[in-house]
Amino acid sequence: MNQINLKELERKAFLSTYQDGLWDMCIGLIVICMSFFLYRPATGYSPLNIVLVLACMALACALFLAGKKFITLPRMGQVKFGEKRTRRRKTMAIVLGVVVLFQAALLVIQFVGWRNPEFGAMLNEFFQERDAMDLAVATLGSLFVGPSMILVAYFMDLTRGYFIAVMIALTVFLMIYLNQPIYAIIIGILIAVPGVVLFLRFLQKYPLHREETKRE
Protein backbone atom coordinates (compact mmCIF):
# COMPACT_ATOMS: atom_id res chain seq x y z
CA MET A 1 0.00 0.00 0.00
CA ASN A 2 1.30 3.46 -0.85
CA GLN A 3 1.96 5.74 2.09
CA ILE A 4 -0.88 8.18 2.75
CA ASN A 5 0.51 11.66 3.20
CA LEU A 6 -2.40 13.70 4.52
CA LYS A 7 -0.74 17.06 3.86
CA GLU A 8 -0.03 16.07 0.28
CA LEU A 9 -3.55 14.70 -0.10
CA GLU A 10 -5.02 18.03 1.02
CA ARG A 11 -2.67 19.95 -1.31
CA LYS A 12 -3.56 17.68 -4.24
CA ALA A 13 -7.28 18.20 -3.58
CA PHE A 14 -6.72 21.96 -3.32
CA LEU A 15 -4.68 22.18 -6.52
CA SER A 16 -7.22 20.08 -8.40
CA THR A 17 -9.59 23.05 -8.15
CA TYR A 18 -7.17 24.99 -10.40
CA GLN A 19 -6.84 22.23 -12.98
CA ASP A 20 -9.69 23.57 -15.11
CA GLY A 21 -7.39 26.31 -16.50
CA LEU A 22 -10.08 28.98 -16.04
CA TRP A 23 -7.89 31.04 -13.72
CA ASP A 24 -5.07 31.14 -16.31
CA MET A 25 -7.46 32.10 -19.11
CA CYS A 26 -9.01 34.84 -16.96
CA ILE A 27 -5.60 36.29 -16.01
CA GLY A 28 -4.49 36.07 -19.66
CA LEU A 29 -7.52 38.08 -20.71
CA ILE A 30 -6.92 40.62 -17.94
CA VAL A 31 -3.32 41.06 -19.14
CA ILE A 32 -4.65 41.73 -22.63
CA CYS A 33 -7.00 44.31 -21.02
CA MET A 34 -3.91 45.96 -19.52
CA SER A 35 -2.76 46.80 -23.03
CA PHE A 36 -5.78 49.13 -23.40
CA PHE A 37 -5.12 50.66 -20.00
CA LEU A 38 -1.37 51.20 -20.22
CA TYR A 39 -1.21 52.20 -23.88
CA ARG A 40 -0.66 55.93 -24.29
CA PRO A 41 -1.65 56.92 -27.83
CA ALA A 42 0.14 59.83 -29.53
CA THR A 43 -3.25 61.58 -29.82
CA GLY A 44 -3.55 61.60 -26.03
CA TYR A 45 -5.07 59.34 -23.41
CA SER A 46 -8.72 58.77 -24.25
CA PRO A 47 -11.57 57.87 -21.86
CA LEU A 48 -12.22 55.08 -24.35
CA ASN A 49 -9.16 53.31 -22.89
CA ILE A 50 -10.83 53.16 -19.48
CA VAL A 51 -14.16 52.00 -20.99
CA LEU A 52 -12.40 49.25 -22.94
CA VAL A 53 -10.46 48.11 -19.87
CA LEU A 54 -13.55 47.95 -17.69
CA ALA A 55 -15.55 46.12 -20.37
CA CYS A 56 -12.74 43.65 -21.01
CA MET A 57 -12.16 42.98 -17.29
CA ALA A 58 -15.88 42.54 -16.68
CA LEU A 59 -15.96 40.07 -19.57
CA ALA A 60 -12.96 38.14 -18.17
CA CYS A 61 -14.53 37.91 -14.69
CA ALA A 62 -17.96 36.98 -16.08
CA LEU A 63 -16.45 34.20 -18.21
CA PHE A 64 -14.48 32.93 -15.21
CA LEU A 65 -17.54 32.82 -12.92
CA ALA A 66 -19.78 31.29 -15.59
CA GLY A 67 -17.12 28.67 -16.40
CA LYS A 68 -16.80 27.73 -12.72
CA LYS A 69 -20.56 27.52 -12.24
CA PHE A 70 -21.64 25.78 -15.43
CA ILE A 71 -18.59 23.73 -16.42
CA THR A 72 -16.26 23.06 -13.48
CA LEU A 73 -18.61 22.48 -10.57
CA PRO A 74 -21.00 20.01 -12.27
CA ARG A 75 -18.03 17.95 -13.49
CA MET A 76 -15.60 18.16 -10.61
CA GLY A 77 -17.85 18.78 -7.65
CA GLN A 78 -17.53 21.23 -4.84
CA VAL A 79 -15.25 21.21 -1.83
CA LYS A 80 -14.82 23.38 1.22
CA PHE A 81 -11.31 23.43 2.66
CA GLY A 82 -10.40 23.51 6.30
CA GLU A 83 -9.17 26.09 8.77
CA LYS A 84 -5.60 26.00 7.40
CA ARG A 85 -6.62 27.32 3.97
CA THR A 86 -8.93 29.96 5.48
CA ARG A 87 -6.06 31.18 7.68
CA ARG A 88 -3.75 31.25 4.66
CA ARG A 89 -6.28 33.32 2.68
CA LYS A 90 -6.68 35.77 5.56
CA THR A 91 -2.88 36.08 5.89
CA MET A 92 -2.66 36.74 2.15
CA ALA A 93 -5.26 39.50 2.41
CA ILE A 94 -3.39 41.13 5.32
CA VAL A 95 0.04 40.87 3.64
CA LEU A 96 -1.30 42.23 0.34
CA GLY A 97 -3.04 45.04 2.24
CA VAL A 98 0.29 46.00 3.85
CA VAL A 99 2.07 45.82 0.47
CA VAL A 100 -0.57 48.07 -1.16
CA LEU A 101 -0.33 50.55 1.74
CA PHE A 102 3.46 50.58 1.37
CA GLN A 103 3.16 51.17 -2.38
CA ALA A 104 0.61 53.92 -1.85
CA ALA A 105 2.93 55.56 0.69
CA LEU A 106 5.78 55.39 -1.85
CA LEU A 107 3.60 57.08 -4.46
CA VAL A 108 2.59 59.84 -2.03
CA ILE A 109 6.22 60.42 -1.03
CA GLN A 110 7.17 60.58 -4.72
CA PHE A 111 4.34 63.02 -5.46
CA VAL A 112 5.18 65.24 -2.49
CA GLY A 113 8.87 65.05 -3.36
CA TRP A 114 8.22 66.22 -6.90
CA ARG A 115 6.31 69.25 -5.61
CA ASN A 116 9.23 70.14 -3.34
CA PRO A 117 11.30 72.63 -5.43
CA GLU A 118 14.73 71.30 -4.39
CA PHE A 119 13.87 67.62 -4.62
CA GLY A 120 11.85 68.20 -7.83
CA ALA A 121 14.80 69.95 -9.47
CA MET A 122 17.05 67.05 -8.46
CA LEU A 123 14.61 64.51 -9.96
CA ASN A 124 14.15 66.54 -13.13
CA GLU A 125 17.90 66.78 -13.54
CA PHE A 126 18.25 63.04 -13.01
CA PHE A 127 15.46 62.23 -15.47
CA GLN A 128 16.45 64.80 -18.06
CA GLU A 129 16.34 62.27 -20.79
CA ARG A 130 12.89 60.95 -21.63
CA ASP A 131 14.31 57.45 -21.94
CA ALA A 132 15.67 57.42 -18.38
CA MET A 133 12.33 58.63 -17.06
CA ASP A 134 10.41 55.89 -18.91
CA LEU A 135 12.88 53.26 -17.77
CA ALA A 136 12.54 54.36 -14.13
CA VAL A 137 8.73 54.44 -14.27
CA ALA A 138 8.59 51.07 -16.07
CA THR A 139 10.91 49.47 -13.49
CA LEU A 140 8.94 50.95 -10.62
CA GLY A 141 5.65 49.82 -12.17
CA SER A 142 6.82 46.24 -12.64
CA LEU A 143 8.26 46.23 -9.11
CA PHE A 144 4.87 47.31 -7.81
CA VAL A 145 3.03 44.50 -9.58
CA GLY A 146 5.55 41.61 -9.64
CA PRO A 147 6.18 41.04 -5.90
CA SER A 148 2.45 41.31 -5.11
CA MET A 149 1.65 38.65 -7.69
CA ILE A 150 4.48 36.45 -6.38
CA LEU A 151 2.94 36.73 -2.91
CA VAL A 152 -0.45 35.72 -4.35
CA ALA A 153 1.18 32.67 -6.03
CA TYR A 154 2.91 31.73 -2.76
CA PHE A 155 -0.24 31.96 -0.66
CA MET A 156 -2.28 30.15 -3.31
CA ASP A 157 0.30 27.36 -3.30
CA LEU A 158 0.27 27.51 -7.09
CA THR A 159 3.60 26.85 -8.84
CA ARG A 160 2.53 28.22 -12.22
CA GLY A 161 1.39 31.36 -10.40
CA TYR A 162 5.09 32.38 -10.22
CA PHE A 163 5.33 32.20 -14.02
CA ILE A 164 2.19 34.32 -14.29
CA ALA A 165 3.61 36.83 -11.77
CA VAL A 166 6.84 37.25 -13.75
CA MET A 167 4.88 37.56 -17.00
CA ILE A 168 2.61 40.27 -15.57
CA ALA A 169 5.58 42.23 -14.21
CA LEU A 170 7.19 41.94 -17.66
CA THR A 171 3.98 43.19 -19.30
CA VAL A 172 3.88 46.28 -17.09
CA PHE A 173 7.55 46.98 -17.81
CA LEU A 174 7.25 46.57 -21.58
CA MET A 175 3.98 48.45 -21.82
CA ILE A 176 5.31 51.48 -19.95
CA TYR A 177 8.78 51.46 -21.50
CA LEU A 178 7.95 50.59 -25.12
CA ASN A 179 4.27 51.65 -25.16
CA GLN A 180 3.24 48.96 -27.63
CA PRO A 181 0.05 46.97 -26.85
CA ILE A 182 1.32 44.00 -28.84
CA TYR A 183 3.60 42.93 -25.93
CA ALA A 184 0.71 42.74 -23.48
CA ILE A 185 -1.37 40.86 -26.05
CA ILE A 186 1.43 38.32 -26.70
CA ILE A 187 2.09 37.81 -22.96
CA GLY A 188 -1.65 37.53 -22.30
CA ILE A 189 -1.84 34.78 -24.91
CA LEU A 190 1.24 33.07 -23.39
CA ILE A 191 -0.55 32.99 -20.03
CA ALA A 192 -3.90 31.89 -21.46
CA VAL A 193 -2.61 29.08 -23.75
CA PRO A 194 -1.61 26.70 -20.89
CA GLY A 195 -5.05 27.47 -19.44
CA VAL A 196 -6.75 26.39 -22.67
CA VAL A 197 -4.67 23.15 -22.69
CA LEU A 198 -5.59 22.50 -19.04
CA PHE A 199 -9.25 23.23 -19.82
CA LEU A 200 -9.34 20.73 -22.70
CA ARG A 201 -7.65 18.09 -20.51
CA PHE A 202 -10.11 18.87 -17.74
CA LEU A 203 -13.08 18.30 -20.05
CA GLN A 204 -11.64 14.90 -21.06
CA LYS A 205 -10.78 13.88 -17.52
CA TYR A 206 -14.05 14.94 -15.92
CA PRO A 207 -17.03 14.09 -18.12
CA LEU A 208 -20.53 14.99 -16.98
CA HIS A 209 -22.34 12.22 -15.05
CA ARG A 210 -25.89 13.34 -15.75
CA GLU A 211 -27.70 10.12 -14.85
CA GLU A 212 -25.66 9.58 -11.70
CA THR A 213 -26.20 13.13 -10.55
CA LYS A 214 -29.95 12.66 -10.94
CA ARG A 215 -29.86 9.50 -8.82
CA GLU A 216 -27.57 11.04 -6.23
Partner 1 sequence: MSKEVGKEDLSSLAEIDRFVHEPARLAVMSLLYVVESADFTFVMNQTGLTWGNLSAHISKLEKAGYLEVEKTFRGKRPNTTLKLTSQGRRVFRDYANRMKQVFQDFDG
Q: Does 42 bind partner 1 (CB under 8 A)?
A: no
Identity of the residue, 2 or 43, whose beta carbon is nearer to partner 1 in the bound complex: 2
Interaction of residue 78 with partner 1, rule CB under 8 A: yes
Q: Binding residue for partner 1 (CB under 8 A) from 43, 47, 79, 204?
A: 79
CA distances from 129 to 85, 124, 142, 159, 179 (A): 49, 9, 20, 39, 17
Comparing CB distances to partner 1, the nearer of 45 and 70 is: 70
- The answer to whether residue 213 forms part of the interface with partner 1 (CB under 8 A) is yes
Confirm or reject binding of residue 46 to partner 1 (CB under 8 A): no
Tell me whether residue 73 or residue 104 sits nearer to partner 1 (CB atom).
Answer: 73
What is the DSSP-derived secondary structure letter of residue 121? H
Residues with Cβ within 8 Å of 171's Cβ and at least 6 positions away in sequence, in order, are: 31, 34, 183, 184, 187, 188
Residues 32, 28: Cα–Cα separation, whole Å: 6
- List of residues contacting partner 1 (CB under 8 A): 1, 4, 6-7, 9-10, 12-13, 16, 73-83, 206, 209, 212-216
